[in-house]
């Protein structure tokens, strides 16, 4: 293990301490929101690498989250009996990717296994990101933001209008995802502690992979692209390829988060593909620091936990919009990099400038 990755060790201790405290104080219900926050943070750290290191903004990552979640939900709940004679279903059956059974009405049911559904969902998100990224990543600044925003709107309208995806009701009754014998992702009360450690284990594994990427040769190329695309091109960095691969990687993180959270919640609704979800993710990355993967993870967990606990009430989306505005004005480097003295000087200089302009 690299010395830089040893910083993950104290986090292991904190995760265990939180669970012990919750168990000792009979407040295990907090683990539900912490588990969900960990899955959302998996998307956020992937988006942090895209924005902070590749220098590409995406306002459509809720779309990739929805692709993962909705495909996993549909494939594990929608019966394929009517299509069992088709070549694709036969191939899935031959590969052991189907489960035969009965639905609640006693009718024959044939669905995809959670493992196969997860693979299909994540690969689909990766393919969509690849095809979308080829033309879209040629854009810069607000043009790129608008293009990815358009993608997010398309995904939202598809899941909202499609009967296959449950329309406004979404999809419920999603089964648990058995990772290993005796270890599954589900919302059952008896496995609350188990799922807490699974979620955080997945998040820490994602952190480890991304930190190693950032410290690698590819990571140095991404930092060069963020600093100056022209300079990176001049030293031989294939900027288009690195931007595209990072976009696909962040989409994979988002889709995997969607798959796992859908199995944990037992369902998914169209709100997960909403535009405000994408705005929220961008705001959280901005609060943590565009090129600060630790800050993005910490603020992702904290802000999502507070939101899931209902602290912001019906003003939830408005709060994240306000957070984004304030961060852009006073702490563009992220709140964890904020120096109070610098903030005071910035506010003072703006106030002085307005005063001089008025006089």
pLDDT tens for the chain, 359 residues long, are 454 566 677 888 899 999 999 999 989 899 999 999 999 999 999 999 999 888 889 999 999 999 999 999 999 999 998 888 899 899 998 999 999 887 777 788 899 999 999 999 999 999 999 999 999 998 988 899 999 999 999 999 999 999 999 999 999 999 999 998 889 999 888 899 999 999 999 999 999 999 889 888 888 888 888 777 888 888 788 888 999 999 999 999 999 999 999 999 999 999 999 999 999 999 999 998 888 898 899 999 999 999 999 888 888 888 888 888 888 887 777 776 665 445 455 555 555 555 555 55
Quote the number of domains for the chain.
Answer: 1
The per-residue pLDDT for 354 is: 55
Does residue 18 sit within a domain?
yes
**267: in domain:** yes
User: Residues 280, 61: contact at Cβ < 8 Å?
Assistant: no
Q: Is residue 298 part of a domain?
A: no
Q: How far apart are CA 112 and CA 126, in angstroms?
A: 20
In a domain, 84, yes or no: no
Residue 14 placed within a domain: yes
What is the residue range of 134's domain? 3-75+114-283
Using alpha carbons only, what angle is made at residue 63 by residues 59 and 69, rounded to the nearest 5 degrees?
145
Cα gap 206→300, rounded to integer Å: 14
Q: What does the pLDDT read at residue 101?
A: 82
Strand, helix or coil for residue 102: strand
What are the angstrom distances between the C-alpha of 58 and each of 86, 126, 186, 305? 38, 15, 30, 23
Q: What is the pLDDT of residue 341?
A: 47
Q: What per-residue confidence (pLDDT) applies to 347?
A: 53
Contact 260, 39 (CB under 8 A): yes
Is 191 a domain residue?
A: yes
Calpha distance 117→102 (Å, rounded): 19
Please give the pLDDT value at position 329. 81
Please give the backbone phi and psi of residue 112, each rounded to the nearest 5 degrees, phi first: -80, 145
| Residue 328 forms part of a structural domain | no
Does residue 105 lie in a domain region?
A: no
pTM of the model: 0.90
CA distances from 51 to 47, 57, 168, 247, 276 (A): 6, 5, 31, 9, 18
The answer to whether the beta carbons of residues 263 and 72 sit under 8 Å apart is yes
Q: What is the pLDDT of residue 346?
A: 55
In angstroms, rounded to a whole number, what is the distance separating the alpha carbons of residues 261 and 76? 14
């Amino acid at each position: 293990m690299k010395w830089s990755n040893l910083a993950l060790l104290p986090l292991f201790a904190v995760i265990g301490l939180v669970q012990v405290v919750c168990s000792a104080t009979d407040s295990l219900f907090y683990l539900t929101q912490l588990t969900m926050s960990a899955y959302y943070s998996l998307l956020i750290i992937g988006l942090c690498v895209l924005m902070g290191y590749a220098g590409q903004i995406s306002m459509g990552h809720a779309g990739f989250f929805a692709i993962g979640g909705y495909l996993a939900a549909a494939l594990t709940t929608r019966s394929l009996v009517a299509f069992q004679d088709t070549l694709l279903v036969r191939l899935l059956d031959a590969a052991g990717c189907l489960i035969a059974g009965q639905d609640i009405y006693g009718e024959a049911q044939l669905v995809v296994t959670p493992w196969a559904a997860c693979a299909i969902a994540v690969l689909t998100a990766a393919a969509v990101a690849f095809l979308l990224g080829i033309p879209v990543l040629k854009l810069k600044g607000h043009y790129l933001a608008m293009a990815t925003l358009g993608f997010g709107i398309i995904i939202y309208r598809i899941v909202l209008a499609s009967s296959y995806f449950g329309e406004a009701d979404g999809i419920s009754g999603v089964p648990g995802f058995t990772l290993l014998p005796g270890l599954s992702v589900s919302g059952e009360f008896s496995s609350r502690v188990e799922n807490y450690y699974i979620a955080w284990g997945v998040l820490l594994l994602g952190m480890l992979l991304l930190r190693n990427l950032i410290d690698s040769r590819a990571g140095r190329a991404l930092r060069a692209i963020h600093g100056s695309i022209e300079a990176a091109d001049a030293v031989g960095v294939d900027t288009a390829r690195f931007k595209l691969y990072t976009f696909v990687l962040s989409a994979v993180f988002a889709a995997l988060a969607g798959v796992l959270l859908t199995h944990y919640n037992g369902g998914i609704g169209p709100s997960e593909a909403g535009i405000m979800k994408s705005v929220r993710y961008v705001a959280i990355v901005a609060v943590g620091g565009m090129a600060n993967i630790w800050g993005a993870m910490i603020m992702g967990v904290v802000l999502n936990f507070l939101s899931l606990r209902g602290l912001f009430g019906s003003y939830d989306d408005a709060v994240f919009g306000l957070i984004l505005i304030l961060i852009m004005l006073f702490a563009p480097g992220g709140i964890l990099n904020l120096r109070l003295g610098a903030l005071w000087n910035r506010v003072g200089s703006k106030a002085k400038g307005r005063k001089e302009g008025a006089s």
